[in-house]
Amino acid sequence: MDMTLPPTAGQAPAPTDSAARKAFYNDISTFSMSPLWEVLHALVPTSPNTPCVPGFWKYADVYPYLMKSGQLITAEEAVRRVLILENPALRGQSCITQSLYAGLQVIMPGEIAPSHRHTQSALRFVVEGHGAYTAVDGERTQMKPGDFIITPSWTFHDHGHEGRVDANAPVVWLDGLDIPMLKFFDAGFAENHAEKSQPVTKPEGMTNYKYGANMLPVRGNSPFGQTSPIFSYPYDRTREALHELENHADIDAWDGVKLRYVNPLTGGSPMPTMATFMQRLPAGFKGKPYRQTDGAVYSVVEGHGSVDIQFNGKVTTFTFGPKDHFVIPSWHTATWHSAPGSVLFSFSDRPVHQALGIHREERV
């Protein structure tokens, strides 16, 4: 390498042939450096250019494998018996978008998924089955289809299936975690509980009486830090609210009727890293197109419909029914349709976008 070149301030550089540039890149590479000008357009794009693609998991395709996994490994040996939903363009990275993890977890009657805790926040969205519970910080909550359940960061949690005679089918739920975000920040910690099931120290339902009746303790505290003190948002209440709003209130031209779940202490998202939503598309709904920076994962609760997803001139259409799952990546334009009506749960990393002041939405 010639270290004696004179400075050429104010002069345009002589045209450099690509071989000379390549040699230069090789030279600086020895010192762990690289030229910004080769990557600037990709590093600072004019608009988000995610490597993620839309992905769709039809429940009829997934279900036989969930059941088969139940014959191959116990929940106890697996710790969590989950089939990860991987973004088709990011195989091997255990993520559904660059910041979010999703998987379908199954627990068989009589099984226990042992107690542990980790700094990753988790949400459970119950897809089907009865008789399972999740325990969080000494309190159990029953898992019923359509319920949204939280595991706050660093709280011990275990899942179990009591296998009662009236409820002895496998229980399946969607796991949503901020695993890729904590990996990105290298901030993951985890440990196992000394016991398989943590001791139950509170009667079931106490948390929802304390925090879930539109009231709060007078000397309120925040038992789970930035996470909602409510860890179960039962579907019957969500469903009734959306149903009544659909019948008697204005319908949004883009979303139909869409509500976000809240932390009652703050009005913000239930977890610091993930927002959750439930949405009802009225019968005959033909939505207008919109896009937003937060890619979102969907679980279909009821009804049927379709979504057109458009990005860089390419259109993907997903036709969905109950228990199907799909992902709409960042800045992909979504347009909803439903002839019979539909109910959709979704989650995204929106609170992080909002905390950083970079969330954008464009409604066409």
Whichever of 105 and 263 has its CB closer to ligand GTQ, that residue is: 105
Task: Give min distance, CB of 255 to ligand GTQ, in A.
Answer: 28
175 counts as binding ligand GTQ under rule CB under 6 A: yes
Nearest to 126 by CA among 87, 169, 189, 185: 169
Degrees to nearest 5, angle at CA 238 with 233 and 243: 175
Nearest to 269 by CA among 183, 206, 178: 178
Task: Give min distance, CB of 223 to ligand GTQ, in A.
Answer: 19
Judge contact between 111 and 150, C-beta under 8 A.
no
Task: Give min distance, CB of 118 to ligand GTQ, in A.
Answer: 6
177 counts as binding ligand GTQ under rule CB under 6 A: yes
- How far apart CA 51 and CA 87 sit, in angstroms, is 10
Size of the site for ligand GTQ (CB under 6 A): 8
Please give the structure tokens belonging to residue 334: 């979504």
Whichever of 170 and 303 has its CB closer to ligand GTQ, that residue is: 170
Q: What separation in angstroms does the CA of 338 have from each of 240, 276, 318?
A: 19, 21, 12
User: By rule CB under 6 A, what string of x and - marks binding of each residue 284-313 to ligand GTQ?
Assistant: ------------------------------
- How far apart CA 260 and CA 88 sit, in angstroms, is 28
Whichever of 191 and 240 has its CB closer to ligand GTQ, that residue is: 191
Q: Applying CB under 6 A, which of residues 52, 75, 96, 103 lies at the interface with ligand GTQ?
A: 103
Task: Give min distance, CB of 112 to ligand GTQ, in A.
Answer: 12
82 counts as binding ligand GTQ under rule CB under 6 A: yes
Q: Which amino acid is at 44?
A: V
Whichever of 144 and 280 has its CB closer to ligand GTQ, that residue is: 144
Whichever of 177 and 230 has its CB closer to ligand GTQ, that residue is: 177
- How far apart CA 225 and CA 355 sit, in angstroms, is 16
Nearest to 318 by CA among 310, 334, 307: 307
Task: Give min distance, CB of 175 to ligand GTQ, in A.
Answer: 3
Whichever of 85 and 230 has its CB closer to ligand GTQ, that residue is: 85
238 counts as binding ligand GTQ under rule CB under 6 A: no
Task: Give min distance, CB of 166 to ligand GTQ, in A.
Answer: 25
* Residues between 108 and 147 with contacts to ligand GTQ, criterion CB under 6 A: 118, 122
Q: What separation in angstroms does the CA of 290 have from each of 158, 214, 254, 307?
A: 38, 32, 7, 11
Task: Give min distance, CB of 106 to ligand GTQ, in A.
Answer: 11
Whichever of 157 and 332 has its CB closer to ligand GTQ, that residue is: 157
Task: Give min distance, CB of 122 to ligand GTQ, in A.
Answer: 5
- How far apart CA 289 and CA 61 sit, in angstroms, is 29
Identify the burial level of 340 via C-beta atoms within 10 angstroms of its C-beta, where 0-12 means exposed, 13-18 middle and 19 or more buried.
Answer: middle
Whichever of 125 and 298 has its CB closer to ligand GTQ, that residue is: 125
* Residues between 210 and 229 with contacts to ligand GTQ, criterion CB under 6 A: none
Can you say whether residue 115 is alpha, beta or left, with left for phi > 0 and alpha for psi between -120 and 50 degrees?
A: beta
Nearest to 158 by CA among 190, 125, 197: 197
Q: Which amino acid is at 278?
A: M
Whichever of 285 and 345 has its CB closer to ligand GTQ, that residue is: 345
172 counts as binding ligand GTQ under rule CB under 6 A: no
Nearest to 115 by CA among 201, 199, 200, 193: 193
Q: Which amino acid is at 229?
A: P
Q: Applying CB under 6 A, which of residues 48, 70, 80, 304 lies at the interface with ligand GTQ?
A: 80
* Greatest distance between any 2 Cα atoms in the chain: 86
Q: Note the residues at the interface with ligand GTQ (CB under 6 A).
A: 80, 82, 103, 105, 118, 122, 175, 177
